[in-house]
Amino acid sequence: MAERAPFLAACVQMRSGLDRAKNAADACELIAEAAGEGATFIATPEMTNVVDRKASRLFESLPEEDGLTEIGTFSEAAKRHGVWLLIGSMAVKLEERRAANRAFLFAPDGTIAARYDKLHMFDVDLPNGESWKESKVYRPGEEAVEVETPLAKIGLTICYDVRFPHLYRKLAQAGADVLCVPAAFTRQTGEAHWKTLLTARAIETGSFVVAPAQGGTHEDGRETYGHSLIIGPWGEVLAEASGDEPGIVFAEIDPSAVQEARQRIPNLALEQSFKLAILDL
């Protein structure tokens, strides 16, 4: 394939609430603004369509994928603006009281180019008393997803996946130029680890990382960190949201920089198999 040209990427930062239609409209407004600035790849955060930690309320009106009106809304937005549009994830009903945390990549003609279900569930108890058991509501996915587009080879992940570096290594070894990490990081974990984890994933794979985030205090009471980021394959921060307010950050992505970084540090090609010796002294 011919060498890919640089392109402008945009991270849409949101503060999604309980109203799916409003969230979709808010996202579309920011998507239009990003496209108007020349972005040809636009990514929104995890749970773009609804942020609701109360499962009973979530399932009162959450349909299965074929009834999810947001899909048509975002398909039309991608087609109208002629962009590659990653909806970082949406809640999608699978069965009674069970959902997927599912990303959708829309092509410029409005078709769905790829889906990805979040692999790693956020089941944690934090020091400040916060407790999250994502696996009680969401079913984890079963496969990693990489998409070859005319812009770049794009690896799809979601939020808590970022703490599992082997996933990113496999995507990069398969040729991914851009690793997407749409997220709704809690404020506590975001302040401690958000930028460090994303920078590490970029450096260790020699990839661009595009990480649109939820930010602020949401209607359901949770607080998310914001600070959407685009990071280059040498670990350089190319764009960062200054806080947790809704908005957009932009950066140019040059796929040739990925090959340059991987030639400098060819660790993806030099992986050594090993056995683990456990010594009982």
How high is the pLDDT of residue 2? 65
Residue where the block lists tokens 């956020």: 122
Q: Any catalytic annotation for residue 46?
A: yes
Tell me, yes or no, whether 166 lies in a domain.
Answer: yes
Q: Give the CA radius of gyration of the chain.
A: 18
Alpha-carbon distance of 170 to 70, in angstroms, equals 31
**CB contact at 8 A, 146 and 154:** yes
- Write out the two tokens for 100: 């997927």
How high is the pLDDT of residue 126? 75
Catalytic residue among 11, 28, 93, 118: 118
CA 240 to mean position of chain CA atoms: 15
Tell me, yes or no, whether 189 lies in a domain.
Answer: yes
How high is the pLDDT of residue 91? 98
How high is the pLDDT of residue 123? 85
Q: What is the pLDDT of residues 241-262, one digit of tens each?
A: 999 999 999 999 999 999 999 9
How high is the pLDDT of residue 127? 76
Other beta carbons within 10 angstroms of residue 172's beta carbon come to 25
Give the residue numbers spanning the domain of 45.
Answer: 7-269
Tell me, yes or no, whether 104 lies in a domain.
Answer: yes
> What CATH number does the domain containing 126 carry?
3.60.110.10
- 137 in the Ramachandran plot: left (φ > 0), alpha (ψ -120 to 50) or beta? alpha
Work out the percent of the chain whose per-residue pLDDT is above 90. Answer: 93
Indicate if the pLDDT at residue 1 is higher than 60: no
Q: What is the pLDDT of residues 10-56, one digit of tens each?
A: 999 999 999 999 999 999 999 999 999 999 999 999 999 999 999 99
**CB contact at 8 A, 4 and 150:** yes
Whole-number average pLDDT of the chain: 96
Q: What is the pLDDT of residues 180-220, one digit of tens each?
A: 999 999 999 999 999 999 999 999 999 999 999 999 999 99
Q: Any catalytic annotation for residue 142?
A: no
Tell me, yes or no, whether 132 lies in a domain.
Answer: yes
Burial profile 141-165: b = 16 or more Cβ within 10 angstroms, e = fewer: beebbbbebebbbbbbbbbbbbeee
- Write out the two tokens for 78: 């991608």
| Mean pLDDT in residue range 124-131 | 73
Record the pTM: 0.96
| pLDDT category of residue 133 using cuts at 50, 70 and 90 | confident
Indicate if the pLDDT at residue 125 is higher than 60: yes
Q: What is the pLDDT of residues 140-195, one digit of tens each?
A: 999 999 999 999 999 999 999 999 999 999 999 999 999 999 999 999 999 999 99
Burial profile 177-203: b = 16 or more Cβ within 10 angstroms, e = fewer: bbbbbbbbbbbebbeeebbebbbbbbb
Q: How many domains does the chain have?
A: 1
| pLDDT category of residue 9 using cuts at 50, 70 and 90 | very high
Catalytic residue among 11, 28, 46, 153: 46
Q: Any catalytic annotation for residue 118?
A: yes
Tell me, yes or no, whether 43 lies in a domain.
Answer: yes
Tell me, yes or no, whether 2 lies in a domain.
Answer: no
How high is the pLDDT of residue 252? 98
Tell me, yes or no, whether 278 lies in a domain.
Answer: no
Alpha-carbon distance of 195 to 240, in angstroms, equals 10
Query: Nearest-CA neighbor of 209 among 229, 193, 189, 190?
Result: 229
Catalytic residue among 11, 28, 146, 159: 159
Tell me, yes or no, whether 277 lies in a domain.
Answer: no
